[in-house]
Structure 1
Amino acid sequence: AKNPVSNITKKQLQDIYTGKIRNWKQLGGPDMPIHLISKEEGRSTLDLFIKYIDAEVEERQGKMFYRIKGSKNWSPVGAEIIGPNSMAIVRVSEEVGAIGYVSIGAAERAERKLGKIKRLKLNGVEASRENVRNKTYPIIRPLNVITNGKPQGIIKEFIDYLMSRPGQNIVKNLDYIPLR
């Protein structure tokens, strides 16, 4: 949270994870190496992130390496692999110079509890629930409930409850952004 960098562009984020930018000084911050934190394979946050920065990943020797989709050049430095959001947040809060990505809800909760992390603006847009709702934040994804055919019986009751005010409060309490 002490890092003065408060905004990065999509291109800078891509360059950070593909190894073209390796020091915060290149972004106007302190002369300090950037420590990459990556989500592990199978995490939807990783899928969303690599789609946004137009990259692909490969795990080697316990590290995650990134490259621009279609490029032959992998990042020269591998990212530390973390699973759950909570672990990524702990690593970013402990490691000076670290950068990682987690859901906005998890980041907000961590800021309230730990106060040691900082959400960077992306292309000048703050990572906030409001900006996800109004679709100005560039990295978002919907979560869907799917059924086999038209929902009936207990399945319909569950979906109706999920969409009700109490159901949407549960969604919010789980750090997701409710529809209402």
Structure 2
Amino acid sequence: MKEREWSTIILAAILISFPIMFFTWIIYAIVMLSTGSKLYGALVIAASALINIFYLLAYIDVLKEKVFWSLCGSAILVIAISFVLGWRYEQYVEKLKIVDDQAINMSNYEPFREGTKAVSLPEPAPLKIRSKLPQLDGSTALYPMYAAFVQAVYKQKEYPYYGQDSEVQVNGTEDAYNRLIKGEADIIFAPAPSKDQEAQAKAAGVELTLTPIGYEAFIFFVNSRNEVQNLTLEQIQGIYAGELTNWKQFGGANEKIRPFQRRENSGSQTMLQKMMKDKQLMEPAKEDVNSGMGDIIKQTANYRNYKNAIGFSFLFYATEMVHEQQIHLLKINGVEANRENISNGTYPLTAPFYAITAGSDNPKVQPFVDWILSPQGQYLIEKTGYTPLKSELNSARR
């Protein structure tokens, strides 16, 4: 190495590094804003760091020019290969099925829509609501059911599920509770509220009235290639507490478990939290999302059907998805999730769902709720694919 003062070397290093770092951050920002990929961003930084190091070593004569260009070429080749492998991996991940409660096209169930999948009664309903229509909202999982109620009782017209002016909306459990508490909805159809939702209602001076109208199974599912068929409640609690981490602990493959969760205050996430009882729920898997304003934010990752993944939902959605999504439902405590086992009470993760009100002054609300509890309302619940309160199968519960 040529004799130079260290201060001169340090100054040269700063002068050389600054433009390289400047252009690195520009390229990094472009890559992250266009792809949101942490992998690509890391490769940009790695490439910049290597070029910087090689250049500095060449500058102080540790590297000869020929060696310098050889190392730069090798580094570029390795990084290019990493980019290709990373791209192929991300393509693989994108092809994995996402199992999400939003997967069903809600427009297929819009009441009075031509070809609607909403169930119809075999005879006219004695209750007819033609004016002061109660404003409805609810869980995505329950929309097919309350769309059938509307089709039986409400006056015939269009009820777009996404329309702000529509009397029948489906905004999901969290937003439905928010609208009910604010007085923007008269009835919502949802699982029981979370602790946060109860606190929000109390803070707003609103009393929530929960009327059970049927039952649904909370289910867990895995990739169809997963050999595990059955878990106990204690084992599921251990997985979601982060205590049980490998499928081989249950007779499966030697693979680390990927337990997916849903966003806070969603109906299924609230059910998971209640199922955990005294155990601390682990932090959910996160994914980076481009917010559209130049920021990368983190949100709870949607279930992707990795071979080692486990996720949860409600039975109606799971049975709608199972063929397409290549998943299979786990037995819980050796009991299969099906309508008969929900009705006779043997499936351990069965919970009621509710028609929930909050003191609406609409005089049509209570007659509507009463009709839902009638044989006709319960018929629509059962024919839609849920378990009614009142049926021959459900006599054990009565």
Given the two structures, how large is their TM-score scaled by the length of structure 1?
A: 0.70
Q: Where in structure 1 are there 5+ consecutive unaligned residues?
A: 64-79
Given that 1:36 and 1:99 are in contact with CA atoms closer than 8 Å, whether structure 2 keeps it comes out as yes
- Other structure's SS at 1:38 match: coil
In the alignment, which residue of structure 2 is the partner of 1:99? 310
How much has 1:46 moved relative to structure 2?
1.8
Distance 1:14 1:47 in 2: 14
Please state if 1:62 is matched with 2:286: yes
Please state if 1:2 is matched with 2:186: no
Q: Measured at CA, do residues 144 and 31 of structure 1 come closer, stay the same or move farther in structure 2, by a change above 3 Å?
A: same
How much has 1:56 moved relative to structure 2?
3.5
How much has 1:81 moved relative to structure 2?
2.7
Structure with greater helix percent: 2
Q: Measured at CA, do residues 173 and 96 of structure 1 come closer, stay the same or move farther in structure 2, by a change above 3 Å?
A: farther
Distance 2:336 2:229 in 1: 9
How much has 1:28 moved relative to structure 2?
0.3
In the alignment, which residue of structure 1 is the partner of 2:331? 121
1:8-19 residue pairs with structure 2 within 5 A? 8-19=231-242
How much has 1:38 moved relative to structure 2?
0.7
Distance 2:285 2:320 in 1: 32
Deviation beyond 4 Å, 4+ runs, structure 1 = 58-61, 146-149, 172-175
Q: Where in structure 2 are there 5+ consecutive unaligned residues?
A: 1-223, 288-298, 391-398
Please state if 1:32 is matched with 2:242: no
In the alignment, which residue of structure 2 is the partner of 1:109? 320
Which one of 326, 343, 346 corresponds to residue 136 of structure 1?
346
Given that 1:48 and 1:139 are in contact with CA atoms closer than 8 Å, whether structure 2 keeps it comes out as no
Q: Measured at CA, do residues 39 and 25 of structure 1 come closer, stay the same or move farther in structure 2, by a change above 3 Å?
A: same
Distance 2:321 2:262 in 1: 17
Q: Measured at CA, do residues 43 and 174 of structure 1 come closer, stay the same or move farther in structure 2, by a change above 3 Å?
A: farther
Range 26-35 or range 46-55, more displaced: 46-55
- Give 1:101's aligned amino acid: F
1:78-97 residue pairs with structure 2 within 5 A? 81-82=300-301, 88=303, 91=304, 94-97=305-308
Q: Measured at CA, do residues 176 and 57 of structure 1 come closer, stay the same or move farther in structure 2, by a change above 3 Å?
A: same
Identity %: 33
How much has 1:41 moved relative to structure 2?
0.7
Range 124-133 or range 54-63, more displaced: 54-63
Distance 1:34 1:61 in 2: 12
Distance 1:61 1:106 in 2: 22
- Other structure's SS at 1:2 match: coil
Q: Measured at CA, do residues 166 and 115 of structure 1 come closer, stay the same or move farther in structure 2, by a change above 3 Å?
A: farther
Distance 2:258 2:368 in 1: 43
- Other structure's SS at 1:4 match: coil
In the alignment, which residue of structure 2 is the partner of 1:73? none
How much has 1:62 moved relative to structure 2?
3.5
Given that 2:240 and 2:282 are in contact with CA atoms closer than 8 Å, whether structure 1 keeps it comes out as no
Given that 2:258 and 2:309 are in contact with CA atoms closer than 8 Å, whether structure 1 keeps it comes out as yes
In the alignment, which residue of structure 1 is the partner of 2:274? 51
Q: How many aligned residue pairs are there?
A: 154
Find the structure with the greater CA-based Rg.
2
Q: What RMSD in Å do the two structures reach over aligned CA positions? A: 3.0
User: For 1:45-82, what per-residue CA distance to the aligned partner results, in whole angstroms no more than 9, with x for missing partners?
Assistant: 2222222232344758838xxxxxxxxxxxxxxxx835
Given the two structures, how large is their TM-score scaled by the length of structure 2?
A: 0.34
- Other structure's SS at 1:51 match: helix
Distance 1:173 1:103 in 2: 16
In the alignment, which residue of structure 2 is the partner of 1:67? none
- Other structure's SS at 2:354 match: coil
